[in-house]
Chain A
Amino acid sequence: MSALVVRAGPVSALVERRALVASCVLVAAIAGLALAALCRGDSWDAPGDVLQGLLGRGDSAVIVREWRLPRVTAAIVFGAALGAAGSVFQNLTRNALGSPDVIGLDAGSYTGVLIAITLFGGTAAGLATGALAGGLATAAAVCALALRSGVSGLRLVVVGIAVNAMLTATNSWIVLRADLDVAIAATGWQAGTLNGVEWAGLRFPLIVIGALAVLLAALSQGMRQAALGDDVAAASGLGLGRFRLLAVLAGVGLTAGVTAAAGPIVFVGLVAPQIGRRIAGAAGVPPLPAALTGAALLLAADLIAQTVLSPVQLPVGAVTTVLGGGYLCLLLFKEVERG
């Protein structure tokens, strides 16, 4: 059999062998990249010292645990959140282009953040609220605009790309009009960065993302069912209206949680679900491989961002943009060829 049956008391599941192996490989890759990232300082530290430091022993304990670990944790959790959010929207739109960053949700969350900074100052809760409100408003706007001419995945994507462009322009305008100190703070963030991430700033986003991950796990069966098409999903007992609402909420919330903490990190949500499903050999675009791939991707991108122009640290968003831009072009070509 190519699948394993798991049954214990009220719990039962069928686990595809290929997906299980792929998940283990991805987790190992994440662990390896995380160790490398923990070793990465002004120079590379020996892994043995770093592991000692991680356990609170040796000279490097403070550096590893207070400086590098938050950043590595952020890269893993944010990458996973972006990948999972991408899989939610690619499932909903049934289109590989339908990811939050392409349809403007990152930009919308960032607009919310900018408004929160300029109007209310930059408290963590204010930023998170701004990001979530901005993301939800954008999602509502994109859906409303796409619905007017009938729902189809590609139409929603095209409308989303247009909304994304308008929001990006709006964001630049807000930054130009803002006071100098606000503008400087905002631009430092515009590309999405993990530079200077600390535990204190991570607490709130981690709680939000953790809660939404639970919601997403609860929705994953419905997501599999929805992938069969609206008619089959509804006829087999999926309440489509409620499912879609919760899925959009989870997807927007995950994106907004990341944006509030690190700014808009684009393209992870676009690329990770597609790579993940190929690695897992899965049907449709399942969220777990997408999340694991997203974590590995963002860790790798952040390592590159710290290394290529060292000692200058690039924002990780710049690296994901370069990596993802090429992929987006490829997808657009394919989409156009398909008609």
Chain B
Amino acid sequence: MKGRLTARDATLRYGDRVVSADLDLDVPDGAFTAIVGANACGKSTLLRSFARLLAPSSGHIAFDGRDVRDYRPKTIAREMAFLPQGLVAPENMVVRQLVARGRYPHQTLLSTWSADDERAVTAAMTAAGVTDLAERRMENLSGGQRQRVWIAMVLAQETPYLLLDEPTTFLDITHQYQLLALLARLRDDGRTIIAVLHDVNQACRFADHIVAMRDGRVVAAGAPADIVDAALIKEVFDLSCVITPDPVTGTPMIVPTGEYAG
């Protein structure tokens, strides 16, 4: 599977601390890619570099063969949206205002609320299930509600590529599955989804393509059924497990054996 979004020999670092060296990765188009790995393995850093928030110190992150940082900001922001972690809304902001901010790359100096903007915001709020919260202030919402509003904002950007850093954070289990199903539906509509996910079983159930990382390296990449086995989980997470087919979907499901190496 080839894609328009690629990493080539990319070295990612914060100051002197190298997170990933000479990373190569292809993101398949029109697929749901899940990046999994232990804490601090460089998955968020990788996603941030795709989203232009971190420039590789060497190598390239490219879209259509051109470095993502060479595009005009609004042009590339109409192609890909990014949901970072740990977001805080400005004081006093109501939900519909925040969702509307996702339309920024589509707006011009004179046109800040076109019919398209209105339609996209309404659709995004419906998809994320926050329509009823439209006039509520962000500071008065629960963590899960806020997370869904931020997701609505990213959806309102209406981009073919959607990058999400742990989008299920703060969500209860029902909303987690609802969100993942929504992402799968968006994939079915032709969008490309790249998400950092914590739960490997959820990743196997919903994603077409899994990128397993450890210490800044890509250990394996491919379809869940092809790459996820006990050896991989041991290598990536240091966790002993057995793999059994998910009784509902048949996708790989990990069940820890009870030996939790320290």
> A residues bordering B, Cβ < 8 Å?
2, 5-7, 10-14, 218, 221, 224-225, 227-229, 231-232, 234-239, 277, 281-284
Contact = CB atoms under 8 A, between A and B. Distances in A.
Q: Most chain-A CB neighbours within 10 Å: which of B93, B113, B115?
A: B113
Contacts of B87: 228-229, 231-232
Given A235-B82, A284-B93, A12 B77 contact: no
Given A14-B112, A238-B104, A2 B51 contact: no
Contacts of A225: 101, 104
Given A10-B111, A11-B110, A13-B112, A235 B135 contact: no
A236 B157 contact: yes
A235 B110 contact: no
A239 B53 CA distance: 11
B228 to A, nearest CB: 30
B92 A281 contact: yes
Q: Most chain-A CB neighbours within 10 Å: which of B51, B72, B76, B84?
A: B84
8 contacts: A7-B113, A12-B115, A231-B84, A237-B77, A237-B104, A239-B73, A283-B90, A283-B93
Contact of A284 (B91, B104, B117): B91
Contacts of A11: 110-111
A229 B85 CA distance: 11
B105 A14 contact: no
Contacts of B88: 229
A13 B92 contact: no
B107 A5 contact: no
A13 B108 CA distance: 10
B53 A237 contact: no
A237 B110 contact: no
B104 A12 contact: no
B34 interface: no
B181 to A, nearest CB: 24
Given A235-B81, A237-B104, A12 B114 contact: yes
B111 A14 contact: no
B109 interface: yes
Interface residues of B, number: 42
A87 to B, nearest CB: 13
A283 B97 contact: yes
Given A14-B100, A221-B109, A235-B77, A7 B53 contact: no
B52 A235 contact: yes
B81 A218 contact: no
Contacts, number: 94
A234 B109 CA distance: 18
B78 interface: yes
B53 A234 contact: yes
Nearest to B85: A231
Contacts of B102: 236
Contacts of B4: none
Contacts of A284: 90-93
A277 B91 CA distance: 10
A234 B81 CA distance: 10
Contacts of B72: 239
A96 to B, nearest CB: 10
Given A221-B112, A283-B90, 11 more contacts: A5-B118, A221-B107, A227-B90, A228-B101, A232-B84, A235-B51, A235-B82, A237-B75, A237-B76, A277-B92, A284-B92
Contacts of A221: 104, 107, 109, 112
Given A235-B81, A237-B77, A282 B109 contact: no
A283 B104 contact: no
Nearest to B48: A231
B185 interface: no
Interface string B137-181: 000000000000000010001000000000000000000000000
B184 to A, nearest CB: 22
A227 B53 CA distance: 17
Contacts of A283: 89-94, 97
A221 B77 CA distance: 16
Contacts of B81: 235-236
Nearest to A242: B73
A179 to B, nearest CB: 49
Nearest to A238: B73
Q: Which are the 8 A-B pairs with shortest beta-carbon distances?
A: A237-B77, A283-B93, A237-B105, A235-B82, A14-B113, A237-B74, A284-B90, A231-B84
A236 B105 contact: yes
A228 B78 contact: no
Contacts of A235: 51-53, 77, 81-82, 84
A154 to B, nearest CB: 15
Nearest to B92: A283
A31 B63 CA distance: 54
Contacts of A227: 90
Q: Most chain-B CB neighbours within 10 Å: which of A2, A10, A225, A236?
A: A236
Contacts of B115: 7, 12
B92 A12 contact: no
B163 to A, nearest CB: 8
A278 B113 CA distance: 24
Contacts of A6: 113
A228 B83 CA distance: 12
B17 to A, nearest CB: 15
B90 A5 contact: no
A175 to B, nearest CB: 41
